[in-house]
Amino acid sequence: MDSKKIKQVMSIVFDVPLESITDDASTDTIPNWDSLRHLNLILALEEELGISIPNEEVGNLITYKLIELIVHECKK
């Protein structure tokens, strides 16, 4: 469930088609992933998923797999 939501958030924030957010999506594969959109991503994930992402993790959310893993940790 989270996977789908995360991908939807990423698709909206980065303004790319949902199908382009694959499991291997990362800063390398999404050209729109700049620093401003990265901060928007954090805020959108927190709002959509009802979580609080710790400051020390903000810089680590650089691939879809890492986002999924960190979101999962934040929900514990």
Partner 1 sequence: MKKYNEIFVGDKETLSHIITKNDIDKFVDLTGDDNRLHVDEKFAEKTQFKKPVVHGMLGASFISTIIGTKLPGDGALWFSQSLEFLLPVRIGDKLTIKAEVIKKNDSERIIELKTEIYNQNRQIVTKGVAKVKVIETENKTAVSRKITAEVKTALIIGATGGIGNAVCLQLAQDGFNIIIHYNNNKAMAEDIKKKVESYKQKAVVVKADILQETEINEMVTTSYRSFKKIDVVVNCAASSIPNIKFQELLWSDYVQQLEVNIKSTIHIVQAVVPEMIKNGYGKIITIGSVSAEKPNSEWSHYITAKTALIGLTKSLAFELAPKGIRVNMVTPSLVNTELTMNIPEKVKLLAAAQTPLRRLALATDVAGVISFLASDKSDFLAGENIRVNGGQVMI
Q: Residue numbers of the site for partner 1 (CB under 8 A)?
A: 26-28, 60, 62-63, 65-66, 69-70, 73
Burial label for 22, CB within 10 Å (0-12, 13-18, 19+), is: exposed
Cβ(9)–Cβ(45) below 8 Å: yes
Task: Provide the minimum distance between the beta carbon of 64 and partner 1 in the complex, in angstroms, as a whole number.
Answer: 10
Task: Provide the minimum distance between the beta carbon of 73 and partner 1 in the complex, in angstroms, as a whole number.
Answer: 7
Task: Provide the minimum distance between the beta carbon of 26 and partner 1 in the complex, in angstroms, as a whole number.
Answer: 6
Please state the φ and ψ torsions of residue 18, each to the nearest 5 degrees: -55, -40
